[in-house]
A and B are shown apart, each in its own frame.
Chain A
Amino acid sequence: MHNFRVLVVDDETDFLETLVKRLNKRMLDAKGVESGEAAVDLLKREVFDVVVLDVKMPGGMDGIETLREIKHIQPLAEVLLLTGHASVETSIEGMKLGAFDYLLKPMKFDDLLMKMAHAFEKKSSHDKKIRDAKIHELTRYPSRVFDDE
């Protein structure tokens, strides 16, 4: 498995900490934050490949709002939603807004890892396409190397 950057957003600190620990043990570069606002702040500063987002969070931004912000700040980051049984509808709404997939909480850790890997693969292939397109463009118009991005 490739090493990639993961951001976990969940209001339950105990859950968050343990999950981050386990992910780090799997050689992933994982970080955890406890609210939507904190996630948005961090995403403005650092680049993540996959975001695991709890859709039900008390206070401030809820899951859907956070998802919108994430897609606004880092459109290429893939988002996995964590949801309870009662909020499957919210997950569906989230996927319409561009989330990659959803998981019912409590989830099997292996399922989470698998879906994260899929998400990262998708993101990587997407990144590759963008890179290829850029290379193609640069080989045609090398002078554009000096253009500001």
Chain B
Amino acid sequence: MNRKTIPLSPYYRSLTRNMVLLVIMISFTPMLLVTVITLDRFSASHHEKVYAHLGELVLKHKQNIDSFLVEKLQNIRFLADTIDFDQCGHQNMIEGHLARLQRAYGPVFVDLGVVNEQGQQVAYTGPFRLEEALYSDADWFKRAIESRYFTSDVFLGLRGAPHFIISARKTCQDQKWIIRATIDFVEFNRLVEKIRIGKTGFAYILNREGRFQTKPIFDFTPDLDIYNRYFSTLERMGKEVEIQERLDSYGVRSIYVSALLKGGDWLLVYKQASSDAFSDLRNAQTIAIVFFLLGGVAIVAMAIWMSGKMVRRIATSDQEKEIMNEQVIETGKLASVGELAAGIAHEINNPVAIMVEEAGWLQDLMEDGAYKSDADIKEFERALDQIRTQGKRCKEITHKLLSFARKTDSRIEDFEVGHLIEELVALSAQRAKYSNVELITRLEPKLPAISASQSELQQVFLNLINNALDAMDKTGGTLEISAKQEEGQIVIDVSDNGPGIPRANLARIFDPFFTTKPVGSGTGLGLSICYGIIHKMGGEITVKSTVDVGTTFGIRVPAKTDEAVENKAVSATDTCN
């Protein structure tokens, strides 16, 4: 629990950040791709569907309106064919026809009139008072008199209300007559008015002059250029329906679906705001984005939480590893000391054996009782001297051992490495002597100090020396230890001319628990501990070996820089003053 409150070091913080970024990137990329691709495909197919639907709708209504117009025209043609123009002048007659038309086709036909060549309406029936009306100047009349059948644009006319006229021409008694009917605008408008989809979808009809032929639900001024373009596009392409999406005069993106009516005179236009037409798509997009954002938030939260948790765990296990390492180093130290002890024991045994023998010799002499003569006394003195000499020898050995054993703490100090090497070489000298190994040290004088734990570095060299002595135990040889300064680093080489290390083992030599010694003899930890210690100091340890030629372990450790030493000297003098 306590551990959780410890703030993490920058290394772990950057580790956390990297993990979070990686997780977010890996999670977001597919999510983003899937969402974008799906939305894009869906949008494309939805557009297609909406276009097809609107196109179909407009086409159907175009046919509807066209057939309405054709049907009305045919009604009038039929009437014109059957009517007897001799009787045209008679009001009653016209009334009868209108009544019949209205009975047959509903109240679509508002009125009915007969106009002569001069534009004089000779007969009229309907709700307006248009008997005797003169149409000779009216546009529709001029065109109606030219063609057999005619459907006019919507206009206000004499009655002052929007309407349009369907007329048929007939020649009778060398006179051209026109029979005309007015179509109920409200009725016609309804045909277009009922085309309503969504909130903004509506339809209207324009003529070639860009004037409304129906009353649009939303009032606006049509732009003639644009509609002329529709006319020409539809005519040129021979298409029945043209669909376009563009900004309207209010700047709202809209879909325009247009179709020609009345043989190209009119244009049926259906307009709907894109946002309205694609509202389903918009909804789907909104939902997708909401889920994307929610998912994103969840991913980010998850990534931060999980990375934090994992890094904590890594930090904990690193800490445990650190403790473990320290324990392993301690164990390794005991093992190497044990190996050293074998050599030391023999070294101590020899003087002790001499002392024991000398003491025994003195005893022998005393037992004989022959200690009065000068010669005997000389022999006594010699033996006692010998015992003293050997006792001193023992003392020296124990001192060496003690100075080694005293450096047990792993405190970091600044010290010169040469002295430490000399000490270890002295300790190993006896073992080397019995293995027929010549120990040579080549230490550059005045090496800069290094900052390390003496006891740990001792262990490194002891391990390397022990290994070399083990390797040359049978054959003998030379073991050379050199130390020199190179580019601000201390370079220490421990080289032997023993049997060498086979190439296959060379790569694994620093692995923990890798050993070529028989079970029970070696832990396989020695070199891995050396590796750990040197790396902890910010140095490196390498090995070069050739079978039957020898092995060299190279150690490079950073030297304390001169500045650091000087600073130290300055601060030392300061304190002295």
Contact = CB atoms under 8 A, between A and B. Distances in A.
B433 A22 contact: no
B386 interface: yes
A59 B353 contact: no
Range class of the A interface residue count: 20 to 34
B356 A106 contact: yes
Given A84-B349, A105-B349, A18 B434 contact: no
B93 to A, nearest CB: 148
A22 B353 contact: no
A14 B351 CA distance: 9
B436 A15 contact: no
Range class of the B interface residue count: 20 to 34
A105 B353 contact: yes
B358 interface: yes
B253 to A, nearest CB: 97
Given A22-B360, A25-B364, A56-B434, A15 B354 contact: yes
A19 B342 contact: no
Nearest to B358: A18
B315 interface: no
B360 A109 contact: yes
B522 to A, nearest CB: 15
A109 B346 contact: no
B346 A59 contact: no
A106 B349 contact: yes
B345 A84 contact: yes
A14 B354 contact: yes
Given A25-B364, A58-B433, A86-B342, A15 B349 contact: no
Contact of B386 (A14, A19, A87): A14
Contact of A59 (B343, B355, B436): B436
A109 B354 CA distance: 12
Most B C-beta atoms less than 10 A away, residue of A12, A84, A105, A109: A84
Interface of A: 12, 14-15, 18-19, 21-22, 25, 56-60, 62, 84-87, 105-107, 109
Given A12-B353, A60-B436, A86-B346, 14 more contacts: A12-B354, A14-B386, A14-B390, A18-B357, A19-B357, A22-B364, A57-B434, A59-B433, A62-B434, A86-B341, A86-B342, A106-B352, A109-B356, A109-B357
17 contacts: A14-B358, A14-B386, A15-B354, A18-B357, A18-B358, A21-B361, A22-B357, A58-B434, A58-B436, A60-B436, A62-B436, A86-B341, A86-B346, A105-B349, A105-B353, A106-B352, A109-B357
